[in-house]
Amino acid sequence: MTTITIDAAGIHYTPLNKQIRQAVRDGVSEIILKNVMGQRFIGDGLIGNVKITIHGVPGGDLGMFMKGPTIEVFGNADHAPGNTMDEGTIIIHGASGDATAHSMRGGKVFIRDDIGYRGGIHMKQYQDKRPVLIIGGTAKAFLGEYMAGGLVIMFRMQDEEPYAEMGLASGIHGGEIFIRGSVEEWTLGIGSSARPATSEDIDRIKSFIFEFSQYYGIDPAKLMNSSYTRIAPVSARPFAGKYTWE
């Protein structure tokens, strides 16, 4: 097992990413990045079992098109971590920006704290690939917009009030969202429906509850003993009535 450390202070994202790719080609198993401050595209398109540990704040599109690696961030992340990710795991010990897990099609993204707007937009799944986005805090408007598949779980650990952000799952036509606690009815977007999660539903997501708790050193009892709301599509074609078909 080979580990290297790269000091990213003052390095433009292009040469930084070239160093990362070269390390992967050389067979390095873990890359530790220190002093990261806004460098974009880290881990993009990487394939394999390498782990990238980031200290700092990575820029946009962290892990985009990634297929296999694990990225762990000790800090916040900018917009769209996990964008179109195919396989692998991203673990963020902080918050992330807008469009987290945008068009994600496989793997898992864990956010300890909050995310911005349009989290999980256009997530999709195919055959045995089912992307998973797990949020420890809360999310801004349009969570799960146009979801075509996958799973979103939001724990809202610091907030016991009903979730109330507009456009929740607007245009959803596949996949499902679980939100800890209740959801204000007016927040539901076009094509989405909500109901209390059943014990069978909780059984299906409990492995992710334990995985989340393990990453962040949290007692899973509170999350396991909570009630959840399940949001799912009303149909596979929520906007069919808005078009004219010959």
Which tokens in the block code for residue 222? 């509170």
Residue 217 has pLDDT above 70, yes or no: yes
How far is it, in rounded angstroms, from Cα 182 to Cα 30?
41
Cα 231–chain centre separation: 17
Cα dist from 168 to 115, 156, 181, whole Å: 14, 15, 15
**Average pLDDT over every residue of 210-222:** 97
Q: Which carries the bigger pLDDT value, residue 240 or residue 223?
A: 223
Residue 238 has pLDDT above 90, yes or no: no
Residue 156 has pLDDT above 80, yes or no: yes
Q: How confident is the model at residue 236 (pLDDT cuts 50, 70, 90)?
A: confident
Q: What integer pLDDT is reported at residue 244 of this predicted model?
A: 56
Cα dist from 31 to 93, 94, 207, 218, whole Å: 17, 20, 28, 26
Residue type at 87 in one-letter notation? E
CA atoms within 13 A on the CB side of 144: 37
Residue 240 has pLDDT above 90, yes or no: no
How far is it, in rounded angstroms, from Cα 16 to Cα 7?
9
Q: What integer pLDDT is reported at residue 235 of this predicted model?
A: 80
Q: What integer pLDDT is reported at residue 148 of this predicted model?
A: 96
pTM above 0.85, yes or no: yes
Q: Which carries the bigger pLDDT value, residue 242 or residue 25?
A: 25
DSSP 127-180: TTB--EEEESS---SSTTTT-EEEEEEE--TT--SPB--TTBTTT--EEEEEEE
Q: What integer pLDDT is reported at residue 1 of this predicted model?
A: 77
Residue 246 has pLDDT above 60, yes or no: no
* Weakest mean pLDDT among 31-35, 57-61, 94-98, 156-160: 156-160
Residue 67 has pLDDT above 90, yes or no: yes
Model confidence pLDDT, tens digit, residues 87-122? 999 999 999 999 999 999 999 999 999 999 999 999
Q: Which of 116, 201, 105 is nearest to 153 (CA)?
A: 201
User: pLDDT > 70: what percent of the chain?
Assistant: 97
* Average pLDDT over the chain, rounded to an integer: 95
Residue 188 has pLDDT above 80, yes or no: yes
